[in-house]
Structure 1
Amino acid sequence: MVRFPFDWPAGAEPPPELAALREEPVVRVNLPSGDEAYLVTRYADVRDVLSDPRLSRNRDRPGAPRMTVEQTKIFQNPKIDRDPPEHTRMRRLMAKAFTATRVESLRPHVQGAADELVDRLAGLTPPVDFAAEFAVPLTLRVICGLLGVPEEDSHRFRSGVGEAWQYMGELIESRRAVPDDGLISELIRTHDEQDGSLSGHELHVWCVILLLAGYETTATQLGSSLVLLLRRPEQLALLREDPSLIPNAVEELLRCQVAGHSLSMLRYVTDDIEIGGVTVPKGSGVIPVLESANFDESVFPDPMRLDVTRDARRQLVFSAGPHFCLGAALARLELQVALHAVLQRFPGLRLAVDAEKLHHHDKPLELGFVEIPVSW
């Protein structure tokens, strides 16, 4: 039986297994935990299952398949219901922090951070690691500013989920005593003033999730986007000649991500369901494979070709349905601003090693390149 997630080979090419994956609508696989699950491979089917109430995010059930041998608390917490109506209630509380208006109001802050970081980058002696010196500091600064987390405390929550949990508990108490205008203080007020709308445990869990997911995934995407562009100089030239293409390019770069997989999308089937003509029985695990759907030829012709002029707004990196990524607008803003700042400041930017020497993290839930050495 096929093992999932697939190993990402060194370099900027996707796993070879993805190329043939859509020959079948549903594929049985073994997960790192040793449990079995079904991969959903085609765009239309993936969109359907992402909105199907018979596929539950709540896997705290007897016999439910696990992602890994050691369950990761950030993905599965028995006190947090990830399905409607409880999930709907939580999203309603969180969504006001990520409205289009509020996100757009952050543009000057994101732009200022990007400008400062490219200035700092220019002062270093190449080669330098783009991920460590730009991508992570930028996304970390943005999410810390949004939440009200002191950026200088990053060493306390970047070493692991356990450390982040302890740190956030202390920060919540600190912000309760001395509030600021960040989202954490706003959620504390919701908890304290609106009895029952947000429990103390929910407050703690969601603040940790927003903090960790708020910088890691965007930093990973920014790094992989740069690698893709540096590997395709004709596409890079188009963006240098016409920066107005950058928002469009961001969608295409999201579609063509080369630094992620969908293991964390694992769902539990609460009732028999038919997917692409295949019956998946109740109690099974299902993974909608976003990186497969985004290369579906029926939706994206010539999908292996990166084309920054392509209309790729239908890409599914941010999921779809009730679990569509809350931070999608913020991630898009960061990617657009960052790419514009970097490409403008470094006209001679290039990879400092052969792309085939770029290695991916080898842990099932740790994504992205280990480092991205660049010169200019």
Structure 2
Amino acid sequence: MTTHPEPVAYPFSEPDRLVVHPRYGELRDQGELERVQLPFGKPTWLATRHEDVKIVLGDPRFSREKALGEDEPRILSFTHRPDSILTMDPPGHTRLRKAVARAFTKRRIETIRPRTQQIVDELLDEMVAAGDTADLVRQFALAVPMMVICELLGGPYEDRHKFHHWSEILASTRSSKHTKEDIAQADKELRDYLAELVDTKRANPGDDLLSVLVETEQTDDPLTPEEIVGLAWSVLLAGFEITTNMLVNSVYLLLTNPDQREQLVQEAGLLEKAVEELLRFVPLTVGSFFPRMALEDVELSGTLVRKGETVLPSTLAANRDEAVFPNADQLDFHRDSNAHLTFSYGIHHCLGAPLARMELQVAIGTLLRRLPGLRLVAEDELPWRSGSILRGPSSLLVTW
């Protein structure tokens, strides 16, 4: 019988702003996997090296689908649904991804760029007209991704407060004030809302993602109403809450790293590289998610992962791997090669990556161009999110 070392508690600690816990680096340097215990589910292996994480994410010997169930190692209390694009293996995953992929082509995203620019300019106009101080979270970072994702999905922006309420609860960890029942209720309310929206699109289709998905009902391989709602659920949460936090954390880093901010102010051509580096550098979550189960014995960095065991791939740790990113703990906008894994890898590479990149480029570029003197009002007094899988300031008071 195979014995394993006693698992250590994971995440390793409560998040400290955007500081990466040193244990990730120690594990990479030692070249080994760690046995960890998440708040829910069975113990699992934690992979931290870039090479190992890519294997776990992209090698068909590892299954996302087989890792599901009550024993799935996870930070969130609820178990992931087996009919989600986030949890399926081929061929089910391939079918759902094909249905939604045409809404996220780079060409289609570029057609949204002018409208995104208009949204950003209008929000900054309102901020500047209201005075010389603003909460960048409430008045800008929450609004940009929500307005863009509402237009993409075809949902009414007037309901943005509902979306924000539901998404915050669904991102709750065990240390939050929200109970398991609260989370289940938020999930039900969001899915019921999206089901009604799908019915509306079925009766009055438009040029949006939900209408595209509804159109598949008339094909030889139709999506079910539940599958359409599930895809909309995934797109909404990833496209709003995660993108919002990425934008907030990116601006925070720029405002606390004046040399890098000045580079972007002076060299607008650096913007695309800067966004990629921020995507690599920002530790967006409090831990890792979506473990994979080994379908056969696999050796990773000298550790034998037995068939039926799970591995948790840490993209956060992989993005700081010195073997791939020299001076990985430094924010470097001139980095020539940036094979970060922030959008995952393999078949589960994020479909919304072109959209997120475009939004960050437009929002950050415009913010620095129009407000080059932007600065924090009181860095030491920033309130940071707690009880959430996402980390970052819950408010970002700035002046210019």
TM-score interval (norm. to shorter): over 0.9
Instruction: Return the offset for 1:367.
Output: 3.8
Instruction: Return the offset for 1:356.
Output: 7.3
The residue aligned with 2:308 is 283
- Is 1:46 the counterpart of 2:41? The answer is no
Within the candidate set 354, 369, 374, 2:393 is matched to: 369
- Is 1:322 the counterpart of 2:347? The answer is yes
* TM-score, scaled relative to structure 2: 0.87
- Is 1:169 the counterpart of 2:195? The answer is yes
- Is 1:246 the counterpart of 2:271? The answer is yes
Within the candidate set 165, 190, 197, 2:222 is matched to: 197
The residue aligned with 1:311 is 336
The 1:130/1:7 distance shift into structure 2, 3 A limit, reads farther
Aligned identity (percent) is 39
- Is 1:77 the counterpart of 2:81? The answer is yes
Distance 1:373 1:27 in 2: 39
RMSD, aligned CA: 2.0
Deviations 1:170-196 (A, max 9, x none): 1111111111111101111112x0143
Deviations 1:106-130 (A, max 9, x none): 1101111111111122233454321
Q: Residues 135 and 395 of structure 2 are in contact (CA less than 8 Å); yes or no, is this contact kept in structure 1?
A: yes
Distance 1:60 1:2 in 2: 20
Distance 1:162 1:366 in 2: 21
Query: Within 5 Å, which residues of 2 pair with 1:334-345?
Result: 334-345=359-370
Instruction: Return the offset for 1:162.
Output: 2.7
Query: Within 5 Å, which residues of 2 pair with 1:124-273?
Result: 124-125=130-131, 127-160=133-166, 161-191=187-217, 193-273=218-298
Within the candidate set 28, 38, 43, 1:31 is matched to: 38
The 1:69/1:324 distance shift into structure 2, 3 A limit, reads closer
Q: Secondary structure at the match of 1:11?
A: coil
Distance 1:8 1:249 in 2: 28
- Is 1:57 the counterpart of 2:69? The answer is no
* Unmatched runs of 5 consecutive residues or more in structure 1: none
Which stretch has the larger CA shift, 347-356 or 146-155? 347-356
> How many residues were matched structurally?
371
Q: Secondary structure at the match of 2:141?
A: helix
Q: Secondary structure at the match of 2:304?
A: strand
Instruction: Return the offset for 1:69.
Output: 6.4
* Unmatched runs of 5 consecutive residues or more in structure 2: 1-6, 167-186
Distance 2:337 2:395 in 1: 27
Deviations 1:17-63 (A, max 9, x none): 33323123311111011531111110111112111112222156566
Deviations 1:78-133 (A, max 9, x none): 33461011101111111111111111111101111111111122233454321221
- Structure 1 runs of 4+ aligned residues shifted over 6 Å read none
Distance 2:13 2:276 in 1: 24
- Is 1:14 the counterpart of 2:20? The answer is yes
Q: Residues 67 and 293 of structure 2 are in contact (CA less than 8 Å); yes or no, is this contact kept in structure 1?
A: no
Distance 1:163 1:368 in 2: 26
Which stretch has the larger CA shift, 6-15 or 159-168? 6-15
Distance 1:7 1:131 in 2: 25
* TM-score, scaled relative to structure 1: 0.92
Distance 2:34 2:363 in 1: 37
The 1:197/1:178 distance shift into structure 2, 3 A limit, reads closer
